[in-house]
Amino acid sequence: MRLDEYVRYDATGLASLVKAAVITPLELTRLARDAHVEINPRINAVIEFYEDAETVVGSNEGIFAAVPFLRKDTGASEAGRLQENASRLFKGYRPNTESHFFRRAREAGLRTLGRTTMPEFGTSGMSQSILNGITGNPWDLNRSAGGSSSGSAAAVAAGITPIAHGNDGGGSIRVPAAWCGLIGLNPSRGRVSGGPNNQDALLGRAREFVICRTVRDMAAALDVFSGSHPGDPFIVVQPKRSYQEELSQPTGALKVGVAMTKWGAVDVEPEVLEAVDSTATLLEELGHRVAEIEPPYESAEYFRILLANSARSAHLLDEAAQAMGRTINADTLEPANLKLYEYGRRASPFHAGDIHELMRRLRVRVGEAIEPYDILLTPTMPFVALTHGSIYCTTNPTLSAEEFKEADAALFQYLGVFNATGQPAVSLPLAQSSSGMPIGLQIVGRFGDEATLVRVARDLEEARPWRGRHPKIWAGANSLRFANPL
């Protein structure tokens, strides 16, 4: 297989070739390495391609038999591998815990071959850090790949691997998916366990999953990673059918709430609103009932949750620094994160009930506002990918802690609210701007109802396919000679 052939298969397609003995696991690993060697110097998405990548094992019969995979440098961990959280404070850190997530990945056949870039601690929606530099968007290297699953999205968009690990505590899967023209699902709270040592991260706001290119890969990944681990705070009921089986099920007529107004302080670009309106029309043509909805919450409510978490975050950073024998200062933390840490140290002692109550109120308010709808359609982001050097980077020294979190609430106005409510939400690459940049649109489901999202995403992928689009920076692009396979 040539590199230009490899890059055009999704994960499900590559796995089928392995199972049919058309290609070997070792050949796939070497193709991923070739793509990395060709592409990564231009986009800086992969921090480390493992030296022992060719010896990484996994099931050759699993859903993703021998498919190359990459790990975001935070969250779910591989025992003994570097996990630096894009921070100088954690440089050289190697956890001794193998996460439930990566055990599931290995059992499904995924070969984790390296780790990807991100902003420090995943605090920013931009794609740069002092430790690892700037990750370029394969569609336009002058623009951000989005954060915080920056490198994972850039690597998948450019063809290094067809699927990669991400996690989302306020938009960190959906932002880079939207800006890099990919699919990014944030599952329901509890759908994918954070066990054995990171259950219900950020009090349930953060979840582990993947970034990919096709709806069938998203469905297959749900089948792979869904499930609980001993010690999880609650168990989400598993569906009656597999998510792959949902791909062949009818969607039915749904009531769709459409966001045509801004939900935060930042205005939505006209081209993004046009994409929302066009997709709403498409959903009507597919037989659904569509109605505009007003913002279901005030941005200040989410902002208070973010600030309320600062004292707890500071305490956890102190514990980590002490365990590693390191000092928290300007040499170990980036400017914005240092200010957030100092703010948290000055805040009143953390009481979990304070955040729990703020989140409970938000869940009730949002829940009551959107109860009449089966799904919601919103922009993922108010605008296409920003250029590098935005004031919203954690490397920027000018914003105060409060200003940084206000910007967070404004920029991710359609995203973080559903981390707090626990609902599943997926960004789909349904449109492009006049300049050719991807525009992601978000579909939000009821709690625990990823099945409906799978069916709706399938319908939209069929009605408005995106497989033929690819960015300027794409592995094997100099030798493309044939039509798209699966």
Positions marked active-site: 72, 148, 172
- CA-closest candidate to residue 260, choices 408, 385, 182, 376: 376
Bridge partners, 255 (sequence order): 289
- How far from each other are the two terminal CA atoms of the chain, in whole angstroms? 14
Torsion, Cα of 176, 143, 466, 377 (10° steps): 50
Q: What angle do CA 155, 196, 356 make, to 5 degrees?
A: 90
For residues 454 and 247, the answer to whether their CB atoms sit within 8 Å is yes
Q: Which residue has the tokens 């050759």?
A: 60
Token pair of 275 as six digits = 């994409």
**Can you name the residues that pair with 259 across neighbouring β-strands?**
293
DSSP 8-class letter at 116: E
Among 305, 299, 125, smallest CA distance to 203 is for: 305
Q: Starting from the edge strand earliest in sequence, which strands make up the sheet with 183-186, in order? A: 163-168, 207-212, 183-186, 425-432, 438-445, 375-379, 255-259, 289-293
What distance lies between CA 398 and its chain's CA centroid? 27
> What angle (nearest 5°) sits at the alpha carbon of residue 23, between those of residues 17 and 26?
125
